[in-house]
Amino acid sequence: MAEPEQPQLYLITPPEITLSSFPDRLARVLDAVPVACLRMALSTRDEDEISRAADTLREVAHARDVAIVIAEHVVLAERLGLDGVHLSDHARSVRKSRKALGADAIVGAFCGASRHDGMTAGEAGADYVSFGPVAQTPLGDGSVADAELFAWWSEMIEVPVVAEGALDTAHVEALAPVTDFFALGEEIWREEDALATLRTLCAPIL
Q: How many domains does the chain have?
A: 1
Domain range spanning residue 61?
A: 8-201
**For residue range 61-105, what is the model confidence (pLDDT) as tens digits?**
999 999 999 999 999 999 999 999 999 998 999 999 999 999 999
Nearest partner of 161 among 169, 171, 170, 152, judged by Cα? 152
The per-residue pLDDT for range 155-197, each reduced to its tens digit, is 999 999 999 999 999 999 999 999 999 999 999 999 999 999 9
Measured CA distances, 59 to 55, 56, 66, 72, 80 (Å) = 6, 5, 10, 20, 11
Amino acid at 48: D
Q: What is the CA radius of gyration of the chain?
A: 16
Structural domain contains residue 154: yes
Q: Tell me if 3 is assigned to some domain.
A: no
The answer as to whether 160 is a domain residue is yes
In a domain, residue 90? The reply is: yes
Please provide the distance, in angstroms rounded to a whole number, between the alpha carbons at the two ends of the chain.
Answer: 22
- Report the pLDDT value the prediction gives residue 139, as an integer from 0 to 100: 76
pTM comes to: 0.96
Which pLDDT value is given to residue 2? 39
- CATH of residue 96's domain is 3.20.20.70
The pLDDT value recorded for residue 1 is 34
User: Range with the lowest mean pLDDT among 46-55, 125-134, 140-149, 163-172?
Assistant: 140-149
**Confidence category of residue 4, pLDDT binned at 50, 70, 90:** low
- Which residues lie closer than 8 Å to 54 by C-beta, 6 or more apart? 40, 68, 70, 76, 80, 81, 82
For residue 206, tell me if it sits in a domain: no
Within-domain flag for 2: no
- Other C-beta atoms closer than 10 Å to the C-beta of 25 total 19
